[in-house]
């Protein structure tokens, strides 16, 4: 035993020496609990704002269930659940770093490379760390072998980390401490009577005993109890503020949340389907729709993992796990039965099966397949005849082809291993050869050795290596299947997965090695035989009764769940109809009322112009509402997609800032923009969705603030391998939001309770949070009544490589553009009239057709430069018309127009042969951009010099925003003119700040030549260029003034 212990210590030292590098892990928290008031002071909140990222140090070996890695790089367990709750409620990011051992983690704390650790106790306090309040009780228990008697002396014990060995030895004065690499190894040694007792906390003991399928261990409380303080978080004294924050958080955390976390990880709760289904991406949903039937390759004789009954039906743990996955994915799993594990793996490799089950992660990798997350850990054991020497390894070790601890076998047996096709084939050979042994999973060995055919065999001991990981495997071409299965496995609560995998415990005791135990076992067997026979009938009847009760409970639960879902759907429908009735009728009322006034007073030009402007603003608001409704529909159907493109981050922030400044000034509020000077790169981002997020959160801040200021802060949080970590913070001095309102703000149609403020549709924040999550970020709101509101958006954006400066392309002069002949095809006469007048305004000639047949007839007589057709018309649709035009007139450009603003319609239009598809309502700007690349035949009349090609965002056209925006632009131009004239008198004056501010507003006005001139003068100013810039700015100011006074765009 001393030799084995020494070898074990050498092995641990070798492993620790080989794994010296730290390893980042991803925090996987399964708890959700919102705390209204964590009880932090102003200084503590300020400290959190300055320390957005907190580093947690963890170390090997992991200590389930407090810390677990079920995937390759995630960190879960009790510690992760508590830390995740703290991160969510305190608004910080937790970075998890794994170290090779505890001493390396402690050194990282002392060197400032990590900030805190979990699962700390008095030992850490004695090492100079400060402890938080305990978050988990570590009440000590004794774990003993239930074959031991009260008279057996406790001579060899193992002690879990976290307890003072000297204090423990006071309870067992004659005992010797045997070191083990992990608590799991200590429990296995106890099961095989290598030690007499394991001293451990009750949470860890219950979890490992339940998970390891060890049936001959007994957990018992201590009398008198062992004094412990519980597990805490610990940090160096310089992180005292973080420990104070954690103490306040733990004090505010409801006791029910702690109970729920510990219940989740106790390893013995029955299966229940989680109410929250996995969230799949649009690609994953599409893959599921196209691959409803998944072929699963399973080896036929692998109990209790998988086996088949007389009717050919698969039973075992895999059957239960696949049922849970089917409920969460919608897949139909088709079981393919194979004689061996190797044949099952080969079938997936050859593409004849989609998924392999019942195989370990290592064997899946060796077959060059992808693996899912681990769903069951189990130990390797050695099986041999009763009289075999424990701990000795025979020269010829048997192992299963397709499932074996290959590296360990090569080291221990010198390569003299022999493969067998099935477990029973190997056991049959050992029965007839006392010199042979076989490496098997503990769960399989327990089940098969219960067969009387293998009475001469028993488990000799555990193999001292890391436990095997049972996973699913798929080919590299089916990588979406792996991501889908992984999400479904995460969705299964740990307690449910524990209940599923515990089904493999056959209830078999480990065979004893001493003659005393063998004789006792024989007497017990004979004595119990008659009792078992008498109890079988009663047990069968009782079991049948339980099954009937369970079936009825399931039916009642399903009915109750269906009824609740129906009630929730009915309530959601009512909320939608009520909200939309109000939100849609309001702008429609404004449109109809203003247009009615215009018709009643045709001669009043000034009043009519204002009425049309009001109707235009109401129509824009209605269009924005419809867009929000469509976004919600896309979110709920999983079809909302981002369209990233290269964009200047500085311009994305500064351009809408002018709009915000004007909106704030209109209410008498100050607007402050704080932008990190380092944010100069181009990033890959969806421009419109990024602007949508900014406009919504800043617009809300202005809308619900009556006095004070609005601060928009854009800061760089760091960089991460080609990504930029961006933090956008909007702080207002409004009335604040109470806890009840905050809880529902991210639900569709949720509105606040602010009096005297017109409420919106309640869709904005819900859409914004979804968009931030799609961009790899998060959105959080922190607010208290009377103390304002802080909205924080964190995004992770890809940084684009710096590109060479490309000279600006000057826009073509009006004389160089040519008029187009455009055929309009629409069965709606109003639609044809609007498009015809818009084309005429742009200088083009329009021809109308009321059907596809009329359009084809017109094409026989004259061929236009372009065709714009409605997509959905009676008879022949626009898609069918386009296919015919492309076949007979390939040189004619065809465009679509539709009121169905879904991306799938645009994709269908392009597949039919259209160059692009416009979503109604069509604006002049949209039409001009659509037709700009085409070459016409007749010159367009020259436009006035002061005309503007503005493409203002819809937000600027709402209410009084446009007049305010124009006034602000005119004010900026006046200020710039004054500075430019002053430069002509005193050239030493710097123009950089003036021209930079001027360019930010010009970017929205469609004057690229003027922007280029500003950039040139900003770099190297000269008198001639300044004089020319002055003349062009005065001309632009005059055009803006006419727009402001008349309400009509020049």
953-973 pLDDT tens trace: 555 555 566 777 778 788 888
pTM for this model (two decimals): 0.39
What is the homologous superfamily of the domain 818-939 according to CATH?
A: Response regulator (3.40.50.2300)
Is the per-residue pLDDT at 388 higher than 80?
A: no
Lowest-confidence region among 176-180, 487-491, 779-783, 901-905 = 901-905
Taking only the tens place, the pLDDT of each residue in 595-619 is 766 777 776 666 666 667 666 666 7
Question: What pLDDT, on a 0 to 100 scale, did the predictor assign at position 494?
Answer: 76
Instruction: Give helix then strand counts, H and E, for the chain.
Output: 34, 40
Question: What pLDDT, on a 0 to 100 scale, did the predictor assign at position 243?
Answer: 94
DSSP 116: B
Say yes or no: do domains 140-221 and 571-637 share a fold: no
For 843, other C-beta atoms within 10 Å of its C-beta total 18
| Cis peptide bond prior to 61, omega within 30° of 0 | yes
Is the per-residue pLDDT at 16 higher than 50?
A: no
Is the per-residue pLDDT at 350 higher than 90?
A: yes
> What is the Cα–Cα distance from 305 to 317, expressed in whole angstroms?
5
Question: What pLDDT, on a 0 to 100 scale, did the predictor assign at position 502?
Answer: 66
Which residue did the predictor score with more confidence, 79 or 126? 79
Q: What CATH number does the domain located at 12-137+232-264 have?
A: 3.40.190.10
Whole-number mean pLDDT of the chain?
79
Going by CATH, does the domain composed of 645-798 fall within 3.30.450.20?
Answer: no
Lowest-confidence region among 435-439, 575-579, 1009-1013 = 575-579
Q: Evaluate whether 250 touches 242 at the Cβ level (below 8 Å).
A: no
Lowest-confidence region among 378-387, 436-445, 857-866, 946-955 = 946-955
Is the per-residue pLDDT at 163 higher than 80?
A: yes
> What is the Cα–Cα distance from 265 to 261, expressed in whole angstroms?
7
> What is the Cα–Cα distance from 228 to 203, expressed in whole angstroms?
14
Question: What pLDDT, on a 0 to 100 scale, did the predictor assign at position 913?
Answer: 92
Q: Evaluate whether 205 touches 219 at the Cβ level (below 8 Å).
A: yes
Is the per-residue pLDDT at 516 higher than 70?
A: no
Q: Evaluate whether 203 touches 266 at the Cβ level (below 8 Å).
A: yes
Is the per-residue pLDDT at 322 higher than 70?
A: yes
Phi-psi map region of 172: left, alpha, beta (phi>0 left; psi -120 to 50 alpha): beta
Cα angle: 308, vertex 309, 315; to 5 degrees: 55
CA atoms within 13 A on the CB side of 329: 31
Taking only the tens place, the pLDDT of each residue in 719-778 is 887 888 899 999 999 888 887 777 667 666 555 545 444 444 456 777 888 888 888 888
Please report, for the chain, the start and end positions of each structural domain, with discontinuous segments joined by +: 12-137+232-264, 140-221, 282-519, 571-637, 645-798, 818-939, 954-1046
Q: Evaluate whether 154 touches 190 at the Cβ level (below 8 Å).
A: no
Is the per-residue pLDDT at 339 higher than 60?
A: yes
Taking only the tens place, the pLDDT of each residue in 358-374 is 999 888 988 999 999 88
Closest to 207 (Cα-Cα) out of 167, 165, 255, 263: 263
Question: What pLDDT, on a 0 to 100 scale, did the predictor assign at position 17?
Answer: 43
CA atoms within 13 A on the CB side of 433: 15
> What is the Cα–Cα distance from 628 to 985, expressed in whole angstroms?
53
Question: What pLDDT, on a 0 to 100 scale, did the predictor assign at position 696?
Answer: 85
Q: Where are the beta strands (DSSP E) in 416-552?
A: 417-420, 437-441, 457-462, 468-474
Q: How confident is the model at residue 624 (pLDDT cuts 50, 70, 90)?
A: low
- Fold type of domain 571-637: Helix Hairpins (1.10.287)
DSSP 944: P
Lowest-confidence region among 119-123, 262-266, 572-576, 887-891 = 572-576
Question: What pLDDT, on a 0 to 100 scale, did the predictor assign at position 560?
Answer: 66
Measured in residues, the chain has a length of: 1050
Is the per-residue pLDDT at 801 higher than 90?
A: no
Span 138-152, mean pLDDT?
79
Which residue did the predictor score with more confidence, 714 or 804? 714
**Six-digit token string for 919:** 């979503």
Question: What pLDDT, on a 0 to 100 scale, did the predictor assign at position 228?
Answer: 76
Lowest-confidence region among 198-212, 536-550, 684-698, 784-798 = 536-550
**Six-digit token string for 518:** 């063998």
Taking only the tens place, the pLDDT of each residue in 640-667 is 667 788 888 888 888 788 778 877 887 8
Is the per-residue pLDDT at 422 higher than 80?
A: yes
Taking only the tens place, the pLDDT of each residue in 536-572 is 766 766 666 677 767 667 676 666 666 666 666 555 5
Taking only the tens place, the pLDDT of each residue in 72-115 is 688 999 999 999 999 988 989 999 999 999 899 999 999 999 99
> What is the Cα–Cα distance from 529 to 535, expressed in whole angstroms?
10
**Six-digit token string for 14:** 């070798």
Q: Evaluate whether 41 touches 271 at the Cβ level (below 8 Å).
A: no
Taking only the tens place, the pLDDT of each residue in 17-44 is 443 457 789 898 888 888 878 888 888 8
Of all residues in the chain, the percent with pLDDT exceeding 90 is 18
Which residue did the predictor score with more confidence, 988 or 469? 469
> What is the Cα–Cα distance from 273 to 568, expressed in whole angstroms?
18
Q: What CATH number does the domain located at 282-519 have?
A: 3.40.190.10
CATH class of this structure's domain 140-221: alpha beta
Is the per-residue pLDDT at 510 higher than 50?
A: no
Taking only the tens place, the pLDDT of each residue in 445-465 is 988 988 888 888 988 888 888
Report helix, strand and coil shares of the chain as percent, to nearest 5: 45, 20, 35
Is the per-residue pLDDT at 687 higher than 80?
A: yes
Q: What are the Cα distances from residue 829, in Å, to 591, 836, 839, 1000?
A: 21, 10, 15, 42
Q: Evaluate whether 301 touches 422 at the Cβ level (below 8 Å).
A: yes
Is the per-residue pLDDT at 151 higher than 80?
A: no
Is the per-residue pLDDT at 521 higher than 50?
A: no
């Amino acid at each position: 035993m001393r030799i084995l212990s020494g070898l074990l210590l050498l092995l641990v030292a070798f492993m620790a020496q080989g794994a010296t590098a730290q390893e980042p892990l991803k925090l996987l928290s399964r708890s959700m609990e919102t705390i209204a008031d964590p009880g932090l002071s102003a200084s503590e909140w300020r400290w959190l704002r300055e320390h957005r990222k907190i580093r947690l140090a963890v170390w090997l070996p992991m200590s389930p269930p407090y810390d677990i890695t079920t995937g390759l790089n995630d960190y879960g367990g009790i510690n992760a659940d508590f830390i995740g709750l703290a991160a969510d409620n305190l608004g910080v990011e937790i970075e998890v770093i794994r170290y090779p051992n505890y001493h390396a983690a402690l050194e990282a704390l002392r060197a400032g490379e990590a900030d805190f650790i979990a699962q700390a106790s008095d030992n850490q306090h004695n090492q100079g760390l400060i402890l938080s309040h305990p978050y988990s009780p570590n009440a000590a228990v004794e774990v003993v072998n239930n074959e031991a008697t009260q008279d057996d002396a406790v001579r060899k014990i193992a002690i879990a980390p976290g307890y003072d060995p000297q204090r423990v030895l006071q309870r067992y004065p004659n005992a010797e401490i045997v070191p083990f690499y992990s608590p799991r190894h200590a429990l296995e040694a106890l099961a095989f009577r290598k030690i007499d007792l394991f001293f451990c906390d009750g949470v860890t003991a219950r979890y490992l005993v339940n998970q390891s399928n060890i049936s001959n261990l007994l957990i018992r409380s201590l009398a008198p109890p062992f004094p412990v303080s519980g597990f805490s978080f610990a940090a160096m004294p310089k992180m005292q503020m973080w420990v104070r924050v954690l103490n306040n958080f733990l004090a505010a955390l409801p006791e029910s949340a702690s109970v729920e976390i510990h219940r989740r990880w106790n390893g013995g709760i029955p299966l229940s389907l989680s109410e929250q289904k996995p969230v799949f991406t649009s690609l994953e949903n599409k893959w599921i729709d196209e691959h409803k039937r998944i072929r699963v390759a399973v080896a036929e004789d692998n109990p209790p993992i998988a086996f088949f009954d007389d009717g050919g039906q698969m039973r075992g743990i895999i059957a239960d796990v696949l049922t849970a996955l089917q409920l969460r994915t919608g897949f139909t799993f088709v079981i393919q039965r194979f004689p061996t594990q190797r044949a099952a793996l080969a079938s997936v490799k050859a593409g004849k099966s989609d998924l392999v089950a019942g195989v370990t992660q290592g064997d899946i990798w060796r077959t060059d397949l992808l693996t899912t997350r681990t769903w069951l850990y189990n130990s390797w054991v050695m099986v041999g005849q009763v009289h075999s020497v424990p701990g000795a390894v025979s020269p010829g070790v048997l192992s299963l082809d397709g499932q074996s601890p290959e590296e360990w076998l090569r080291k221990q047996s010198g390569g003299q291993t022999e493969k067998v096709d099935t477990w029973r084939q190997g056991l049959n050979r050992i029965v007839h050869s006392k010199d042979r042994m076989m490496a098997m999973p503990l769960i399989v060995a327990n089940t098969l050795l219960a067969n009387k055919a293998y009475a001469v065999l028993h488990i000799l001991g555990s193999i001292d290596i890391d436990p095997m990981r049972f996973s699913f495997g798929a080919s590299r071409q089916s990588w979406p299947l792996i991501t889908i299965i992984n999400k479904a496995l995460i969705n299964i609560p740990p307690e449910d997965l524990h209940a599923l995998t515990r089904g493999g415990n056959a209830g078999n005791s480990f065979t004893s090695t001493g003659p005393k135990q063998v004789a006792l076992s024989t007497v017990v067997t004979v004595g119990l035989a008659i009792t078992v026979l008498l109890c079988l009938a009663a047990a069968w009847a009782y079991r049948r009764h339980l099954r009937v009760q369970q079936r009825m409970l399931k039916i009642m639960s399903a009915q109750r769940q269906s009824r609740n879902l129906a009630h929730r759907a009915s309530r959601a429908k009512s909320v939608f109809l009520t909200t939309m009735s109000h939100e849609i009728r309001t702008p429609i009322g404004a449109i109809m009322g203003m247009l009615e006034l215009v018709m009643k007073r045709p001669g009043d030009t000034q009043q009519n112009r204002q009425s049309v402007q009001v109707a235009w603003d109401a129509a824009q608001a209605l269009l924005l509402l419809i867009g929000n409704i469509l976004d919600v529909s896309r979110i709920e159907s999983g079809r909302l997609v981002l369209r990233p493109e290269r964009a200047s981050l500085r311009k994305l922030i500064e351009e809408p800032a002018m709009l915000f400044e004007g909106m704030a000034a209109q209410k008498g509020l100050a607007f402050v923009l704080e932008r990190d000077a380092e944010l100069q790169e181009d990033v890959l981002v969806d421009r419109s969705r990024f602007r949508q997020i900014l406009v919504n959160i800043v617009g809300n801040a202005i809308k619900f603030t009556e006095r004070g200021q609005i601060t928009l802060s854009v800061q760089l949080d760091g960089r991460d391998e080609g990504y930029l970590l961006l933090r956008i913070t909007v702080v207002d001095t409004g009335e604040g939001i109470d806890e009840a309102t905050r809880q529902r703000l991210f639900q569709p149609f949720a509105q606040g309770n602010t009096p005297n403020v017109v409420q919106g549709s309640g869709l904005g924040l819900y859409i914004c949070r979804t968009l931030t999550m799609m961009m790899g970020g998060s959105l959080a709101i922190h607010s208290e009544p009377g103390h304002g509101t802080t909205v924080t958006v964190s995004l992770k954006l890809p940084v684009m490589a710096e590109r060479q400066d490309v000279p600006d392309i000057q826009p073509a002069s009006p004389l160089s553009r040519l008029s187009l002949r455009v055929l309009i095809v629409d069965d709606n006469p109003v639609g044809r009239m609007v498009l015809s007048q818009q084309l005429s305004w742009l200088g083009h000639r329009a021809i109308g057709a009321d059907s596809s047949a009329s359009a084809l007839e017109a094409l026989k007589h004259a061929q236009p430069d372009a065709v714009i057709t409605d997509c959905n018309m009676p008879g022949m649709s626009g898609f069918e018309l386009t296919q015919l035009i492309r076949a007979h007139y390939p040189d004619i450009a065809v465009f679509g127009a539709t009121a169905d603003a879904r991306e799938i319609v645009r994709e269908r239009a392009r597949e039919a042969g259209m160059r692009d598809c416009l979503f109604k309502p069509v604006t002049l700007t949209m039409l001009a951009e659509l037709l700009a690349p085409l070459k016409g035949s007749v010159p367009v009349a020259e436009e006035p010099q002061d005309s503007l090609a503005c493409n203002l965002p819809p937000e600027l056209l709402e209410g009084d925003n446009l007049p305010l925006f124009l006034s602000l632009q005119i004010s900026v131009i006046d200020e710039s003119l004054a500075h430019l004239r002053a430069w002509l008198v005193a050239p030493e004056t710097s123009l950089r700040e003036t021209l930079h501010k001027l360019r930010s507003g010009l970017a929205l006005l469609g004057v690229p030549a003027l922007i280029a001139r500003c950039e040139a003068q900003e770099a190297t100013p000269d008198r001639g260029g300044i004089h020319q810039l002055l003349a062009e700015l005065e001309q632009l100011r005059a055009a803006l003034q006419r727009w402001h006074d008349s309400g009509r765009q020049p």
